[in-house]
Structure 1
Amino acid sequence: MVTIRYRRVQETFVMHKKGDVIIMRAEQNFKWEKLSLGTCYYPEHWDKSLWRDDLRRMKENGIFTVRIAEFAWNKIEPAEGEFTYEFFDEFLDVAEEEQMKVIFGTPTATPPVWLTEKYPEVLNCRLDGTPFYHGMRRHYNYNSPIYQELSARIVKKVAKHYGKRPCIVGWQIDNELNCEVDEFYSVSDTLAFREFLKKKYKTLDALNEAWGTIVWNQTYTNWKEIYVPRTTVHDSTNPHQVLDYYRFISDSTLRFCKMQSDIIRKYKKPEDFITTNGIFGNVDNHKMEDECLDVLTYDSYPNFAYCLIEDPKHSDDLNDRKWSKNLTEVRSICPHFGIMEQQSGANGWNTRMEAPAPKPGQMTLWTMQSIAHGADYVSFFRWRTATVGTEIYWHGILDYDNRYNRKLAEVNRIWHRVEAIENVTGAEYKAAFALVKDYDNVWDAQLDVWHERLMKKSEKEIFVAAQLSHTPMDVFYLKDSTEVEELKKYPVLIYPHPLILTKKRAKVLNEYVKAGGKLIIGARTGQKDKHGHCVMEPMPGLLTNVSHTDVKEFTFVGPADDPVSMDWNGKEIETGIFNDILAAAGENVEVLAKYTSNYYAGRPALIRTNTHQGYTLHFGGTFTRQNVTEFLTYTGIIDPWKELIELPADCEIAVREKNDAKYIFVLNYSSEKQDITLKTRMIDLYTTSYSEGMITLEPYETKVYQM
């Protein structure tokens, strides 16, 4: 018998003082007590004669948890109001006899045909109002009252009937909220959008002011005149309306998720967790974790980097290694997360996406990539490749023929490696700095192509520079409620292009710098207010009191221009695709670098301002791997583990720490052998032997060392 232990942390809080006020913040509600493996299984896809043999084969290869039922509404409610539980009762009986743990999914991602035929108002629509018809998935909208009613009913029926089953250890809400489609244009959405806006603005005068409707004669005189965005010339829309629309989508998604989690909590066992899988667009995932979930799980498909519609030779995006950026985002939401779907085979549908099979060793590499970044549970997608349906090319561990293969053999090896490193469970990822983000700017960059170009390029290059210089990073999402204690764990923060700023966020950043932090900001900082209006004051706007700088003018670097650089202590450093021309505007200010070309040659490009114990670097450009490497060097945080280990650029390092023990993950993403050097003696956890000096890693090989 194999026991998988879980722990639900009840009412755990972190406390700190701010003045005379005690601030209490809830910690993550659930953590796994032991690293473990699982897989996604669809009993409704397979003859019942396969079930027991499948579960036994899973256990023989280290898989002790399965996720089921997230697309199986009609197996429980085959017709409206007619409920039958026999199918999953029978499967759960087998699971309990075989001592297999189960994560049960609510089936709301795929409403049955009878529902969408009888209630077509549940269907989502395209921008022009054309509905999505049945035949795919995620074709519903969150705001249809009848869909909310029927979803609540099926969740209640499922949770009430199955909630006390001994084999169930967790619940997954829906499947990949906002995947495939993250915009909603049904009549139900328009009606709900109006109510959202009434609650937010109270009056049409306030809404008209916030949306700047005086432009192009858009002023509203009746709430019924307001719709979700609709088809216009060039599909251009009012940017302030769209910013609120994205906030509305997030609000709708969270209400749908919370409706389900509230129901499940009434019927589940106290120790069982509630999760949902993936992080997708137009959702405040941090708020969803705080308000709806016990733990977040993510769906990790590094092989997307090799889809044949892309060019896999573009090494500047690091190929599958760039999935570490996604995992960093996940860790910002939930430090100790799970992987609900870990790549185990080639991925693709019959209608889109074509990718090669993982090479020998890559399944292990990607599993360890997830664990290195904070995953304490990894579930492979899927047990066996589907023989019917859209996902017949989304391959699982087993292929159509159901025979033992090299992928299952690799899962077995992964199991033994996971057992060897089980003390890593619950260890904290150690980052040298944080990339700062916030949802206002994420959503603004979706509707503002100027903002999007800067943000996408800079965030990618910051990550690439961190990876190639072996400087592990976090992502930190700034909120109006953020306290300075949360920021002080990072010696350096990079907030690349926060066009939208609020007074509360500017205030906490000022407190961070005063307390000794090093803040780096880039071009376009402070251009807009919370509504997306361009403010009539010099940039960096609300951060001027922190940076003591003034943006005199600004420009994209045009295609006819040569790349613009800055002279920083005699070294030519790139300034990217957009340049703010800076000036000093206060005390304790030092111009560190000046532009070397274009019409603003000789004018400030980089200014340092000392404030109490810390300082701000206001950089007038966008971020590139070259200039980020220089910033990491200047701030003294580059390659923090260089005294312990020397790595080539093709290898990633990640360190997790617990009880004074350091667990050092080394991941070779290359198809070639790579030499690393251990500068001190460490325990190789795979072999339990000591290692020191030069070590040769095979292609795609991983190592986990303990100090």
Structure 2
Amino acid sequence: MKEVINEKAIQLGVCYYPEHWPEELWEDDFKRMKEMGFKYVRMAEFAWTIFEPVEGTFEFDLFDHAIELAQKYDLKVIMGTPTATPPAWLTEKYPEVLNVSRDGVRYNHGSRRHYNYNSEIYQSLSKRIVKQMVEHYKDNPTVVGWQIDNEINCEINEFYSDADHVKFREWAKEKYGTLDRLNEAWGTVFWSQTYTDWKQVYLSRATVNDSYNPHQFLDEKRFISDSAIHFVQIQSDIIRSITTEQWVTTNGMFGHLDNHQMTEEALDFYAYDSYPNFNKIIEDNSFMPLRDRKWSLNLSTVRNFGGNFAIFEQQAGPGGWVNRIAQPTPLPGQLRLWTFQSIAHGADLVLYFRWRTATMGSEIYWHGINDYHNLPNRRIKEIKKTSEEIQRLDSSIFDSKYVANAAILTDYNNEWDGEVDTWYGDFLGESKEAWFKAFQYHHIPVDVVNVTQNMTLKELSRYQVLVYPHAAILTESTAELLTCYVEQGGQIIFGARTGYKDINGQTYMKAFPGYIKDLVGISVEEYTLLNGWQKNPKVMMFGEEIETQGFNEVLQVDADGVDVIGTFKNCHYENKPALTKRNVGKGKAYYFGGVFDYQIATMLLKDLQVTNYEDIFLLTSDVELAVREKEGHIIYILLNYSREVQSIEIKGKMENLLENRIVSGEVEMKAYDVMILK
């Protein structure tokens, strides 16, 4: 990313919409952005009507003038292609571009992202507006990059227009070649669903009992992802065919989208939108809740898409639409904390959303840095201080790499298949979050790593510990890779419902857990959902009894070297194995016949050998530790998520880069404070 954005230090910026404001405000806005230390301005991603008010007529005066004023104050401009919001003239004339529900109901014009990716006319009109814009700005030195569309698959990530059905049929034909192979992959012999002609093949449609073919459903998600990536690629190809001086990205992280593939094939780097105060997060009342710290999990996921990234929307105030998503005003210090949270996890460019709160439209409660009145406020002061601190850091942590010795494994196949499989789908997020909590609260930095069918041992061998909670779909090649990882010294933890499905989502006719059976040395004797019909069994492990949740698998030891370290209690499978550990080569493989929670993950963590930083710090659970490395130097970032002062100990002398002084011994971190130590 360093070479792509042509920077030597972390930069800040802001989202700005000149079309929303009287022209007499623009210059003062840009002047104040400059005074705040901002270097980047993002604009135009929703402005199709401004650029093409009438079909085939293009106008650039408004944005030409805005960009000229931005240049006057040494601001770099990121332009958005406006395809997320097709104009009313377009959807009125070409209604086939609109998205359609599974029930066949066409969505109307309004809101945003109401189009479908596969409409040929929409692709054609999108190509035209993108080409016109890039041709117009390709030689403008102030325009440094392009954001394609806005938040791909946000608002809705299912598409059932006529164009989508047609394209899905073509996609399936290209993938399978023959109907026999498609019928086999989808198991269509069940319920007499066998297809005898390609014209019978559709995306899922409304059925009498709302029950869909799960194998077709899995392919449907793969198709939606491919369609979205193709739409991004169309625009990326146009930009790159016209200019090599302006980079290409897009923003988001939403469902039914392989963001790894999209980043690799169509983007120069990935951009994420970070809102740590999102209402679903702050209402977390689970045991040891993450709340805004949950965004560290999201940022860790983004980091795996392609390394260091950008934030194109960093929360700058309370949020909310007129009808949903109400978020409170960030407390003093939280905006600074969240900015450094993004930087700690790999953001080299951070843009706040937005400069000033909109006075109209659906997002009139989604506040920016400035309030409606445009007068000074607490948030402006806090972000200005944050900007000054980042400027003092200079190049010290820019383009540094996140250091983690543990990784949580995820993959799109299980994520998408799990949407319709209640026998494990709900457990994926529960166990991932439980393990992330355990790593977080024990100050062990962790990566989130996507498993692919062409993954290499080199990608995994850097980690001391891997957690792969509920990989129902697990192929023979993946099992061989994970076995090699353990044999060379790695430690891996599996959870219930592992390894019983093939790549099509069909169950293997072999003992569970399928192809990893020999690695873990056990098989599943019996299993059951825990749904409240019976009292949840407990598991005795490491001298403590903990109630299990979600699912139980009764394990049977099948190989030498398997230690039973947990057994079930108060159930008909009393004293049967629930948790096992097996030494394989130089490493260890654990299998837990259940769903992980924070307590179980924490107990296992104590049994694992993983580098922690207890010889360097004594930290409270409210403080996150992020470790970064640059040119052989280690940098530690401490983030206090509590509204209370935290007393910590630094065991040695370190330089506090934010204050340019040496710190050692007992130190107090103020509420929502940040320390960057070297």
**Is the TM-score greater than 0.5?**
yes
TM-score band by shorter chain is: over 0.9
Letter in 1 for 2:497: R
Which stretch shifts more, 87-96 or 362-371? 87-96
Which of the numbers 605, 610, 626 marks the counterpart of 1:654? 626
Whether 1:677 aligns to 2:649 is yes
The correspondence of residues 140-179 of structure 1 with structure 2, limited to 5 A, is 140-179=115-154
Which of the numbers 189, 193, 208 marks the counterpart of 1:233? 208
Whether 1:285 aligns to 2:270 is no
Q: Structure 1 residues 365 and 305, CA, compared in 2 at 3 Å: closer, same or farther?
A: farther
Which stretch shifts more, 256-265 or 676-685? 676-685
8 Å contact kept, 1:551–1:582: yes
Whether 1:507 aligns to 2:480 is yes
- Counterpart of 1:299 in 2: which secondary structure? strand
Whether 1:580 aligns to 2:575 is no
Report the Cα distance in structure 1 between the residues aligned to 2:416 and 2:280, rounded to whole angstroms: 28
Which stretch shifts more, 549-558 or 535-544? 549-558
Whether 1:258 aligns to 2:233 is yes
What residue in structure 2 maps to residue 26 of structure 1? none
Whether 1:202 aligns to 2:177 is yes
Letter in 2 for 1:281: G
- Counterpart of 2:220 in 1: which secondary structure? helix
> CA-to-partner distance for each residue in 1:106-139, whole Å, 9 max, x for gaps?
1100011111000000000112111111111000
Which of the numbers 15, 29, 37 marks the counterpart of 1:62? 37
Which stretch shifts more, 278-287 or 420-429? 420-429
> CA-to-partner distance for each residue in 1:25-60, whole Å, 9 max, x for gaps?
xxxxx6853101010000111111111111110010
CA-CA distance at 1:589 after TM superposition: 2.5
CA-CA distance at 1:627 after TM superposition: 1.3
Which of the numbers 375, 384, 396 marks the counterpart of 2:347? 375
- Counterpart of 1:656 in 2: which secondary structure? strand
Report the Cα distance in structure 2 between the residues aligned to 1:31 and 1:516, rounded to whole angstroms: 40
The correspondence of residues 59-458 of structure 1 with structure 2, limited to 5 A, is 59-270=34-245, 272-305=246-279, 311=283, 316-422=288-394, 423-458=396-431
Report the Cα distance in structure 2 between the residues aligned to 1:224 and 1:351, rounded to whole angstroms: 41
Report the Cα distance in structure 1 between the residues aligned to 2:99 and 2:542, rounded to whole angstroms: 57
- Counterpart of 1:8 in 2: which secondary structure? helix
What residue in structure 1 maps to residue 3 of structure 2? 8
CA-CA distance at 1:611 after TM superposition: 2.0
CA-CA distance at 1:591 after TM superposition: 2.3
Letter in 1 for 2:163: S
- Counterpart of 1:235 in 2: which secondary structure? coil
Which stretch shifts more, 573-582 or 365-374? 573-582
Letter in 2 for 1:637: V
Letter in 2 for 1:301: Y
Letter in 2 for 1:467: Q
Letter in 2 for 1:138: R
8 Å contact kept, 2:283–2:291: no
Report the Cα distance in structure 2 between the residues aligned to 1:560 and 1:210, rounded to whole angstroms: 35
Structure 2 residue runs without a partner (length 5+): none
Report the Cα distance in structure 1 between the residues aligned to 2:311 and 2:542, rounded to whole angstroms: 46
Which stretch shifts more, 369-378 or 211-220? 211-220
Give the TM-score normalised by the residue count of structure 2. Answer: 0.97
Which of the numbers 501, 506, 512 marks the counterpart of 1:539? 512
What residue in structure 2 maps to residue 528 of structure 1? 501
8 Å contact kept, 1:574–1:624: no
What residue in structure 2 maps to residue 464 of structure 1? 437
Give the TM-score normalised by the residue count of structure 1. Answer: 0.93
- Counterpart of 2:424 in 1: which secondary structure? helix
Letter in 2 for 1:276: T
> CA-to-partner distance for each residue in 1:318-362, whole Å, 9 max, x for gaps?
211111111111111132111000000111111212111111111
Letter in 1 for 2:52: E
Report the Cα distance in structure 2 between the residues aligned to 1:577 and 1:123, rounded to whole angstroms: 40
Structure 1 residue runs without a partner (length 5+): 1-5, 10-29
What residue in structure 2 maps to residue 495 of structure 1? 468
Report the Cα distance in structure 1 between the residues aligned to 2:547 and 2:145, rounded to whole angstroms: 49
Q: CA RMSD in A?
A: 1.6
Report the Cα distance in structure 1 between the residues aligned to 2:16 and 2:139, rounded to whole angstroms: 21
- Counterpart of 1:446 in 2: which secondary structure? coil
Whether 1:667 aligns to 2:639 is yes
- Counterpart of 2:14 in 1: which secondary structure? strand
Which stretch shifts more, 203-212 or 108-117? 203-212
Report the Cα distance in structure 2 between the residues aligned to 1:605 and 1:301, rounded to whole angstroms: 39
> CA-to-partner distance for each residue in 1:525-544, whole Å, 9 max, x for gaps?
11111111111110110112
8 Å contact kept, 1:306–1:355: no
Letter in 2 for 1:433: A
Report the Cα distance in structure 1 between the residues aligned to 2:59 and 2:673, rounded to whole angstroms: 48
Which stretch shifts more, 261-270 or 385-394? 261-270
Whether 1:621 aligns to 2:594 is yes
8 Å contact kept, 2:284–2:290: no
What residue in structure 2 maps to residue 480 of structure 1? 453
Q: Structure 1 residues 7 and 164, CA, compared in 2 at 3 Å: closer, same or farther?
A: farther
What residue in structure 2 maps to residue 3 of structure 1? none
Report the Cα distance in structure 2 between the residues aligned to 1:313 and 1:605, rounded to whole angstroms: 28
8 Å contact kept, 1:341–1:378: yes
Letter in 1 for 2:378: R
